[in-house]
Structures are given as structure tokens and as C-alpha cells.
Amino acid sequence: MAKIMKKEAPDVSIPTTSTGDIAFLLLLFFMVSTVFVQERVFWVQRERFPFASENIERISRNESATIYIMKKGDILIDDFPRTVEDNSIINAMQAKARDIPTLQVCFRTDRETPYQTVRDVMMRLQDADTRNVVFEVQRKL
């Protein structure tokens, strides 16, 4: 009687020598392409905000523009310095309003900020047709 010989399956080996290189290159790519935004600490201190008299509603940072007005009158819109004299406030707010239709403008001011500076910025916001304005306050504990 004849024996039927079974063919042996060939050894299939997947080369794994380059997987470490590929993993390293992917790690390097994601490290280089990631942007970390570090929040700066040079604006208005939170303990100098006025206190709220009612409940406070949280505002999403993705749908808002934050205006910082320091005691000396320095103005920052989303961490970029602006001045009242030129049209940089109007241009910045119109560009932001085009990107975000439900834009809310949040004011962070020091208690001792001159009202004239706040008024000038409010007039510029009115010129930019940005009317949804919120003043940030501390939560009453």
C-alpha cells in the first residue's frame, strides 16, 4: 500500500526587525506635530474679580473670546495684546464672530480697572457688532 505523504507547511515568518524603528518614528512624529498651549499667568488675578450675587452659568471656552483688562489699562484678547486706538479689537472680534456664530465675549477685569478703559473696549465691540457680552465674577461660597 502506498503512503500519502503530507506536504509540510512552509515556515512563514514576518520580519519584525523594523517595527521598533516604525514605532519610534511614529512617536517622534506625534511629539513634533502636537502643539501644547501653555496658559499664561500675567493677567487679572482671580481673587480680584467681583463676587456674584446670583447663580453662575458656565461658558464654554470654545465658544467665547476672553478680554483681559489689567489695572494699568493693558488689553489682551485671547492672550494677544490689543489697543483701543487702532482697529485691532474690531478686526479680531469680527474674525472670531465669523468663525463662531454664537460667540460670547467674556470680560476679565481687575476691580481697580478704570471704567473709561472698559467703556472704550465696549464701544469697539459695539462697532464690531459683537453684543453678547459677559462679565466674569467669582462664585460666592
Query: How large is the average pLDDT for residues 93-102?
Result: 87
**Considering the entire predicted model, what is its pTM?**
0.57
Q: Sketch out the chain's domains with CATH numbers.
A: 46-135 (3.30.420.270)
Strand order across the beta sheet in which 104-109 lies: 80-82, 75-77, 64-69, 104-109, 133-135
SS3 105: strand
- As a whole number, the mean pLDDT across the chain is 79
pLDDT at 76 over 60: yes
d(C-alpha 14, C-alpha 37), whole Å: 41
Per-residue pLDDT of 17-53, as tens digits, reads: 788 888 999 999 998 888 776 655 555 555 655 555 6
Per-residue pLDDT of 112-135, as tens digits, reads: 888 888 889 888 888 888 878 888
